[in-house]
């Protein structure tokens, strides 16, 4: 990795761990093993570097979710594969946690990739639910509302897990939404 890449990857790690407010330029430089001059050679400041980091994280998240949701199997199996993917549950969601950061939410530039990621995910899940309905699954459900519930369950599952310091709450919430999705009316 070159210095620019190391700065972006360090910022991704620190944003995940400490959020935007808790991540100082100095901490990024130390984590990346880069000097102050080097950081400001590549980026105008912390906001520009954070934007590059958030965009890279959002891209990785979409690529992985799309692979699971576009994989083989029935719609319900693809949603289950997405929900059951191995995750660092106690670290929470790299994108979702940014919504608790007043400085990120107060910046239209930094909020944009967060909003776009959730919009993309909700639309993709609604498409998969609509595909399932064509095959007789998810009878009587509204695809957009159900997709929002699935995304919210994941995000809230992280909250439950972090509150207790254990993954059980996340796993229970995912189990519950899958049961709700597949029971037949």
Contacts with its own copies, residue ranges (CB under 8 A): 17-19, 21-22, 92-93, 96-97, 99-102, 105, 111, 114-115, 117-119, 122, 139-142, 144-160, 162-165, 169-170, 172-173, 175-177, 179-181, 183-185
Count CB neighbours of 26 within 10 A: 10
**Shortest reach from residue 52's CB to its own copies, in Å:** 19
CB of 65 to its own copies, least distance (A): 15
Are 125 and 80 contacting, i.e. CB atoms less than 8 angstroms apart? no
How many Å apart are CA 118 and CA 137, to the nearest integer? 24
End-to-end CA distance of the chain: 53
- Closest CB to its own copies among residues 92, 132: 92
- Judged by beta carbon, residue 41 or residue 172, the one nearer its own copies is 172
Nearer Cβ to its own copies, position 21 or 60?
A: 21
CA distance 2 to 73: 40
Q: Which is nearer to its own copies, 70 or 100 (CB)?
A: 100
Q: Is the dihedral of CA 5, 9, 14, 20 positive or negative?
A: positive
- Smallest gap from residue 12 Cβ to its own copies (A): 16
């Amino acid at each position: 990795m070159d210095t620019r890449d190391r700065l972006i990857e360090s910022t991704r790690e620190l944003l995940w761990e400490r959020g935007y407010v808790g991540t100082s330029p100095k901490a990024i430089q130390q984590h990346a093993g880069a000097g102050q001059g080097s950081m400001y050679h590549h980026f105008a400041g912390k906001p520009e570097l954070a934007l590059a980091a958030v965009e890279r994280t959002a891209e990785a998240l979409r690529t992985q979710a799309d692979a699971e949701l576009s994989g083989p199997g029935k719609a319900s199996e693809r949603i289950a594969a997405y929900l059951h993917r191995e995750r660092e549950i106690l670290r929470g969601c790299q994108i979702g946690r940014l919504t608790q950061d007043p400085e990120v939410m107060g910046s239209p530039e930094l909020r944009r990739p967060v909003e776009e990621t959730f919009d993309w995910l909700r639309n993709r899940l609604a498409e998969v639910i609509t595909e399932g309905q064509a095959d007789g699954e998810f009878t009587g459900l509204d695809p957009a509302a159900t997709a929002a519930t699935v995304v919210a369950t994941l995000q809230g599952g992280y909250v439950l897990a972090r509150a207790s310091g254990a993954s059980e709450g996340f796993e229970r919430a995912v189990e519950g939404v899958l049961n709700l999705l597949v029971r037949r009316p």
